[in-house]
Structure 1
Amino acid sequence: MNPKGEEHNGESIPASPHSENGSVFEDALAGSPPKEDLGTPITTVVYHSALEPVCPSTPRSRDSAEKRRQSMAIHRRQSGNQGNSPSVNRRPSNKIVKSTIIPLTGAQIHLVRTLWRQIYMSKGPTVIGSTIFHKFFFKCPKVKEQFRRCPLPRNFPNHDSFAKAHCKAMSELFDQVIENLENLDTMTSELERVGRIHAEVMHGELSTKIWNDIAETFIDCTLEWGDRRCRTETVRKAWALIIAFMIEKIKLGHSDQRKRMLSMRATAANIDQLAVASLQIA
């Protein structure tokens, strides 16, 4: 780190582009003789600062200048070492790196998978999905209205049939995640694709905040599955980690697709404005 300025005898000496080598300050402090015309007696001048001469040099003044020069050199080396110190240059990073690997233990995977198999086989995917969506729509009635107004995909005669298929598809997706708990990275692309589809179907009007509400609703439903033995702290933490992973990836795909769609709309709007402007000029 180069010092911005040195202080000498209460007087500030501004730094210069050559201050790193100390040539300007060392010459001034060491009493470098200024150039004189030939034939003129040479008088060595000691500079009290970079601008003002103080007095002609004497043995005592030269010794004093040499001490000042050495002191400045030591100070400069100390400043340089401090600048290269990790405690000064390297600031602690606040960036949090999220891992895609959920730290589930073998016992957690076994408990969650066993419980899910029982619920999935006894209730069926459509009932499980319907229960989750019923709770979610009760919590977020505005999203319920958005769901009813969304464009009806092909092969569905009405919104009721589409809603049932949607509930079933969600449970089947969750079933795939449970089957791949040992290697969840294989589910990342599929979960992100689901998020992108939701952004496309809703034309980017679906807020990314709803995914947090869905996660809370999903976790609330897991607390109702099974008997008391299935509601231990270990199982609850496992469900929370699994759902957090799913929602994170879905939200990522949804957010990326929304940004892409907004960018395309902005580009199209700019093209339209340019076209109108060119027509007006013509």
Structure 2
Amino acid sequence: MQQLASKKEKEKMERMQGEVDLLEQPSPLNDKERLMIQDSWSKVYEHCDDAGVAILVRLFVNFPSSKQFFSQFKQIEEPEELERSAQLRRHARRVMNAINTLVENLDNPDTMASVLQQVGKAHALRHKVEPVYFKILSGVILEVLAEVFPEVVTAEVGAAWTKLLATVYSRIKTVYEEVGWPKLSTSTG
């Protein structure tokens, strides 16, 4: 398995995980939280492509080791060039559509579980992505949404999103365990 790029990057990864770590075993979303997430997401999803690209570019710039799983653009260093990559844009769209499916089905735990099962299995078995990258991505999503949509993602809305993304990570981690992921780290995940 490939190692993280550097000690500096590992420290940055650990800092980004802080908010999600607070809810390692998150409680279910309440009705108000579900509505806040759905309302805020409707405004974010109007800018699906730009928001998705911003999230992935931030991930790859701040955590360059995350590019190792993407042969099409893992050698691209410049953020502007990443933004122009057709492959990155396609993957960003897939990420945003997966989040959209989750948000649309916050009241349907079976659909949510099915989506997370598919995503988790594909990333564990086919793509061999370390599960910690889902936690890192959660932190990046929170950061970008709060910066790009500050009028929508208030502190209260951000707390609801933190809870949702912590739940997503927890369920993804469970899928990894179910498929026998051999490298689940107890120190980071």
TM-score normalised by structure 1 residue count = 0.46
Higher Rg of the two aligned structures: 1
User: Given the alignment of the two structures, is residue 116 of structure 1 paired with residue 116 of structure 2, yes or no?
Assistant: no
Q: Give the unaligned 5+ runs of structure 1.
A: 1-97, 151-159, 261-282
Alignment of 1:1-282 (within 5 A): 98=25, 102-106=28-32, 108-121=33-46, 123-124=47-48, 126-148=49-71, 160-202=85-127, 204=128, 206-228=129-151, 230-259=152-181
Quick check: 1:130–1:167 contact (8 Å CA) kept in 2?
yes
Structure 1 or 2: more strand by fraction: 1
User: Following TM superposition, by how much is the alpha carbon of 1:168 offset from its aligned partner in structure 2, in angstroms?
Assistant: 0.6
Partner SS, residue 107 of structure 2:
helix
Equivalent-residue separation in structure 1 for 2:144 and 2:98 (angstroms): 16
Equivalent-residue separation in structure 1 for 2:92 and 2:153 (angstroms): 24
User: Following TM superposition, by how much is the alpha carbon of 1:149 offset from its aligned partner in structure 2, in angstroms?
Assistant: 6.5
**What is the aligned length?**
148
Partner SS, residue 193 of structure 1:
helix
Quick check: 2:121–2:175 contact (8 Å CA) kept in 1?
yes
Letter in 2 for 1:183: N
Equivalent-residue separation in structure 2 for 1:144 and 1:191 (angstroms): 22
Equivalent-residue separation in structure 1 for 2:130 and 2:149 (angstroms): 33
Structure 1 or 2: more helix by fraction: 2
Highest relative contact order (Cα 8 Å, sep 6+), 1 or 2?
2
Quick check: 2:40–2:153 contact (8 Å CA) kept in 1?
no
User: Following TM superposition, by how much is the alpha carbon of 1:185 offset from its aligned partner in structure 2, in angstroms?
Assistant: 4.0
Q: Give the unaligned 5+ runs of structure 2.
A: 1-24, 74-84, 183-189
Equivalent-residue separation in structure 2 for 1:162 and 1:255 (angstroms): 29
Q: Render the CA deviation track for 1:22-64: whole Å, top value 9, x for unaligned.
A: xxxxxxxxxxxxxxxxxxxxxxxxxxxxxxxxxxxxxxxxxxx
Aligned-pair identity (%): 20
Q: Render the CA deviation track for 1:187-232: whole Å, top value 9, x for unaligned.
A: 1121121111012323x3x32222221111111122124344x343
Quick check: 2:124–2:176 contact (8 Å CA) kept in 1?
yes
